[in-house]
């Protein structure tokens, strides 16, 4: 942790006094800590306490040294942002993009990993609004140190007590350890569906949203990689800090992927590519009649197989979305398409598609396997890259 730059946000809960001890430990371990308190937090513990511990200014207002634009400068200089404690109020603000004080304004501008350590009454933590806000932030890539069960300030016992200092420090160390693990690496990721036009308003496609690939691109960028995201049609926004190449059809993706492959250290092919396309596409909308319609479909180029043939020294990871005989089918694909590893998931009943949770297993070699478990796609992206980095010898 020595030399790490840490942005520490302190919000207005009774547990805010514990942030002073956390600050002291971080400083003792060699970190450079910039503390931002909400006005409510200052009712519990003063800014002077933190400036004394860090030998640096502690900030409360957007108007503290406004000439230095603290809400931008502080998060640009930091390696990781931590909010401990994170109240239900601040969690709700972050989930809905409300930036009405220095802390929330800075976090809205952050392009670094953000770790939240919630602390509140157990009823507040269990409330559907809070659970929804937590799920929203997890889906955006925020990391959490979940609260513990214990004695609460109100004299009640439940889940809402701020996580122990050791657990918060472990989360910070984990984020810092992977912060630069892919520094200097070029990574290309394919994501989302393709669309194969039948006429100007109709197309053949699938239910992919690109959420998994977008999460992988975000995570790889956070680890220091130079990332190119080849993204099919989706309403989801790509992460900041990555190069985005928009594609529509399988042929578009084929051309773009082969152009990116040369000199790339890691290729992750998570796109859901249409295997067939209409043999011809009408320039005008095909009008409905009483007669049945027959459309001849022809094969699209196999993007993943082409990457396998031309990968050179690149490490190539494919995806297999299966409904039956998952691992047998995935292992056959792994060998046939000359992949280095393949992530397999069960997509029966629409599972795995959309922005919700997924479950993955990573296969390589003739029988090697790692279960990545279930979880939101940001968490799975981190686990997948952890495993891939080990196989590549990056960690």
Phi/psi of residue 196, nearest 5 degrees = -115, 110
Report how far residue 303's alpha carbon sits from residue 242's, in angstroms, rounded to the nearest whole number.
22
Classify burial at 375, counting beta carbons within 10 Å of its beta carbon; exposed 0-12, middle 13-18, buried 19 or more: middle
Helix, strand, coil % (nearest 5) of the chain?
35, 25, 35
206, 300, 345, 358: which is the annotated catalytic residue?
206
Strand, helix or coil for residue 268: strand
Report how far residue 320's alpha carbon sits from residue 344's, in angstroms, rounded to the nearest whole number.
5
- In contact, 29 and 3? CB cutoff 8 Å: no
Report how far residue 300's alpha carbon sits from residue 267's, in angstroms, rounded to the nearest whole number.
20
Nearest to 94 by CA among 85, 84, 105: 105
CB count in 10 Å sphere of residue 374: 13
Q: Does 206 participate in catalysis according to the annotation?
A: yes
Residue with tokens 């409510």: 40
Task: Provide the pairing of β-strand 368-376 with 357-364.
Answer: antiparallel
Active site residues: 206
């Amino acid at each position: 942790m020595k030399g790490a730059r840490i942005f520490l946000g302190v919000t207005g809960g009774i547990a805010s006094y514990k942030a002073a001890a956390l600050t002291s430990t971080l400083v003792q371990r060699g970190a450079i800590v910039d503390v931002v308190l909400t006005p409510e937090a200052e009712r519990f513990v003063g800014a002077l306490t933190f400036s004394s511990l860090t030998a640096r200014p502690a900030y409360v207002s957007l108007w503290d040294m406004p000439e230095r634009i603290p809400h931008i400068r502080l998060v640009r200089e930091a390696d990781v942002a931590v909010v401990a404690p994170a109240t239900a109020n601040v969690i709700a603000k972050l989930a809905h993009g409300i930036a009405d004080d220095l802390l929330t304004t800075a976090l809205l501008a952050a392009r670094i990993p953000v770790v939240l350590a919630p602390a509140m009454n157990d009823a507040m933590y269990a409330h559907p609004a809070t659970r929804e806000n937590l799920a929203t932030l997890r889906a955006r890539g925020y990391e959490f140190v979940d609260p513990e069960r214990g004695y609460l300030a109100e004299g009640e016992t439940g889940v809402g007590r701020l996580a122990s200092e050791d657990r918060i420090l472990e989360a910070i160390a984990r984020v810092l350890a992977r912060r630069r693990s892919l520094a200097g690496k070029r990574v290309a990721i394919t994501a989302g569906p393709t669309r194969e036009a039948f006429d100007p308003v109709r197309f053949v496609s699938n239910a992919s949203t690109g959420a998994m690939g977008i999460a992988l691109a975000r995570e790889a960028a956070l680890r220091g990689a130079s990332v190119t995201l080849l993204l099919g049609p989706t309403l989801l926004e790509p992460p900041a800090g990555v190069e985005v190449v928009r594609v529509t059809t399988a042929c578009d993706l084929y051309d773009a992927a082969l152009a990116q492959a040369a000199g790339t250290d890691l290729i992750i092919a998570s796109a859901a590519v249409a295997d067939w396309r209409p043999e011809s596409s009408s320039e005008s909308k095909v009008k409905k009649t009483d007669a049945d319609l027959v459309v001849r479909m022809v094969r699209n180029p196999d993007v993943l197989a082409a990457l396998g043939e031309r990968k050179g020294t690149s490490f190539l990871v494919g995806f297999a979305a299966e409904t039956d005989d998952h691992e047998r089918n995935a292992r056959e694909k792994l060998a046939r398409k000359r992949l280095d590893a393949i992530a397999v998931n069960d997509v029966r009943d629409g599972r795995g598609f959309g922005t919700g949770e997924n479950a993955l297993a990573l296969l390589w070699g003739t029988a090697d396997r790692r279960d990545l478990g279930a979880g939101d796609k940001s968490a799975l992206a981190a686990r997948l890259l952890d495993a891939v980095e080990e196989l590549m010898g990056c960690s």
